[in-house]
Copies of this chain bind each other. A is one copy, B any other.
Amino acid sequence: MHGVSAEQAAEELLQVVPRIMDVIRADVRRRRGEDLSVAQFRTLAFLDRNPDISLSAVAEHIGLTLPSMSKLIDGLVERELVTRETCPGDRRRINLGLTPRGQATINSAFATTRAVLAARVAPLSEQERENLVRTMQELRPLFMMDPEPEAERVPAGETNGNP
């Protein structure tokens, strides 16, 4: 193998990553013991990675409007999975976070999913596992950043004529 273009690498990601995600998603669906919707689950996971974040920031990342996310958070606060506190410096903002129960919920979910993934990659050789880990570590920084500063939403109805 030689001369791999960025486009070819992208094609591989596009074909394989969603398949891995299917397995993760199926696991999440199967064991949502707290009866969480997918959006609620994604929100918990996001709060796990981003403590003390604002409502707007969560809404933008998850892809919901502010009112929708406000209501979704309502439900998580009621179930004592999420904390919602007024920001001391700017009393308009709120700081969101996980309660111990919320943290336990997400930890438990991750543990289960990790086991499912481990079973999937079990057939790999030692060499292949090392390869896998190296690749993930190389990809990690490239997909953590937000390169597109809130790109404008397509005006819904005006489809772009693209390649």
Contacts and interface: CB of A to CB of B under 8 A. Distances in A.
Interface of A: 1-26, 29-35, 45, 61, 63, 108, 110-115, 117-124, 126, 128-140, 142-144, 147-148, 151, 153-154, 156-160, 162-163
Given A6-B122, A6-B124, A12 B163 contact: no
A10 B162 contact: no
Number of copies: 2
Q: Is the interface of A mostly helix, strand, loop or mixed?
A: helix
A17 B42 CA distance: 14
B142 A121 contact: yes
B162 A108 contact: yes
B9 A124 contact: yes
Given A1-B134, A12-B136, A118-B10, A33 B144 contact: no
Contact of A25 (B8, B34, B63): B63
Contacts of A5: 129
Contact of A132 (B24, B138, B143, B160): B138
